[in-house]
Amino acid sequence: MSADLPLSTTGRTTLHRLSERGKTERADLYAVLDAGLICHLGVIVDGYPVVLPTGYGREGDTLYLHGSSGNQAMRAADGHEICVTVTHVDGLVCARSLFNHSINYRSAAIFGTARLISDDARKLAALRVVTEQLVPGQWDYARLPNKKELAATAVLELPLAEASVKVRTGGPHDEPEDYDLDVWAGVVPAQMMFGPAEPDPDLRAGVNLPDHIKAMARHPRGSSALRAVVRFSSWRTGLPLGDE
Ligand SMILES: Cc1cc2nc3c(=O)[nH]c(=O)nc-3n(C[C@H](O)[C@H](O)[C@H](O)COP(=O)(O)OP(=O)(O)OC[C@H]3O[C@@H](n4cnc5c(N)ncnc54)[C@H](O)[C@@H]3O)c2cc1C
């Protein structure tokens, strides 16, 4: 698939609520996925739904998710339909009314049939993608997985054929009469940022912090020109949202 191809618009990836917040370019999907560290894997296990966070990586139009080979959610996903989401919180929006409070966000939902990778060479290649998503430069730096570690690791692949992206940007949308209230309104930006690396107390003397890890502290993750806000009043008030 090419980055120029638009995202699919199947029944289940068509946004009904606030569809103007949907992004239709494949590049928008890539941007959300590439800025993330973890995804949420939604799968049916023994007849009930389970949603679990896990590390992932993207290469081209394939998403790789990894976990323990004993992970029942990953085993249950093999050969079945799953839904994976990636979410970035870009800020909190404070409105003049509680009802109109929101959260800035970028998010993606991907649907498809997942497959466990059994071939060791392909599994290693996929693990490289997952590792580089989390700590770029680490695959060529740290010891590679041995046979036993590889067997203890499960990797799922999921095609990025059917996906949606939703983004909310901007400030609060208050009721016209509320603009006269003496209440502060605006956006509190949020950003994923790494701090300075902390060495393992058992670190062998003379082992220096590598540049690729040192550099992480200087580069915020998940930052983007795309800013958004999702109302969070619903879970407090139980009121239906008009502006999520
Ligand atoms: C950080 C964050 C916090 C949120 N908080 C709330 C909240 O408190 N209350 C609330 O009602 N909503 C919240 N939302 C929005 C929520 O994700 C849904 O978009 C919204 O609730 C509409 O749901 P729906 O089932 O009516 O969507 P529909 O538009 O009917 O969904 C149809 C399809 O659109 C796509 N879609 C819908 N939402 C998203 C999305 N966010 N990202 C990618 N694809 C999507 C999916 O493919 C879905 O199957 C939040 C979103 C984010 C990212």
Does residue 150 sit in the same domain as residue 108?
yes
Res 34 pLDDT > 70 = yes
pTM score, whole prediction: 0.90
Beta-ladder partners of 178: none
Does residue 39 sit in the same domain as residue 125?
yes
In a domain, 8, yes or no: no
Handedness of CA 215, 216, 220, 222 (dihedral sign): positive
Residue of minimum CA distance from atom 4 in ligand 1 = 230
In a domain, 244, yes or no: no
Does residue 213 sit in the same domain as residue 154?
no
Does residue 31 sit in the same domain as residue 134?
yes
**Mean pLDDT (whole number) for 145-168:** 97
Does residue 59 sit in the same domain as residue 118?
yes
In a domain, 12, yes or no: no
Cα→Cα distances 172→100, 111, 191, 224, 244, Å: 7, 31, 19, 19, 11
Tell which atom from ligand 1 comes closest to the C-alpha of 19.
Answer: 29
User: Cα of 233 to ligand 1 centre, how many Å?
Assistant: 14
How many whole angstroms separate alpha carbon 143 and alpha carbon 82? 32
In a domain, 4, yes or no: no
Last residue of a domain, one of 190, 206, 225: 190
Instruction: Answer yes or no: is the C-beta of 109 below 6 A from any ligand 1 atom.
Output: yes
In a domain, 103, yes or no: yes
Query: What's the total number of domains in the chain?
Result: 2
In a domain, 91, yes or no: yes
User: Cα of 16 to ligand 1 centre, how many Å?
Assistant: 9
pLDDT, one tens digit per residue, over 58-104 is 999 999 999 999 999 999 999 999 999 999 999 999 999 999 999 99
In a domain, 132, yes or no: yes
Does residue 128 sit in the same domain as residue 204?
no
User: Cα of 230 to ligand 1 centre, how many Å?
Assistant: 9
Tell which atom from ligand 1 comes closest to the C-alpha of 106.
Answer: 53
Instruction: Answer yes or no: is the C-beta of 12 below 6 A from any ligand 1 atom.
Output: yes
How many whole angstroms separate alpha carbon 25 and alpha carbon 63? 17
User: Cα of 165 to ligand 1 centre, how many Å?
Assistant: 10
Q: Which residues contact 202 (CB under 8 A, 6 or more apart)?
A: none
pLDDT at 8: 74
Does residue 128 sit in the same domain as residue 232?
no
In a domain, 45, yes or no: yes
User: Cα of 116 to ligand 1 centre, how many Å?
Assistant: 28
Does residue 128 sit in the same domain as residue 156?
yes
Does residue 151 sit in the same domain as residue 60?
yes
Residue of minimum CA distance from atom 51 in ligand 1 = 230
Name the region of 56 (left: φ>0; alpha: ψ -120 to 50; beta: rest): beta
pLDDT bracket for residue 242 (50, 70, 90): very low
CA angle 95, 109, 86 (to 5 degrees): 70
pLDDT, one tens digit per residue, over 113-133 is 999 999 999 999 999 999 999
Runs of H (alpha helix) within 37-177: 72-77, 120-134, 147-151
pLDDT at 236: 35
CATH of the domain at 23: 2.30.110.10
Res 203 pLDDT > 80 = yes
**Are the beta carbons of 133 and 216 closer than 8 angstroms?**
no
Instruction: Answer yes or no: is the C-beta of 224 below 6 A from any ligand 1 atom.
Output: no
Q: Structural domain of residue 207, as residue ranges?
A: 194-238
How many whole angstroms separate alpha carbon 137 and alpha carbon 211? 9
Ligand 1, pocket-test mutation among 12, 13, 17, most atoms within 8 A of CB: 17
User: Cα of 75 to ligand 1 centre, how many Å?
Assistant: 27
Instruction: Answer yes or no: is the C-beta of 103 below 6 A from any ligand 1 atom.
Output: yes
Does residue 77 sit in the same domain as residue 173?
yes
Does residue 226 sit in the same domain as residue 171?
no
Instruction: Answer yes or no: is the C-beta of 110 below 6 A from any ligand 1 atom.
Output: no
Does residue 119 sit in the same domain as residue 210?
no
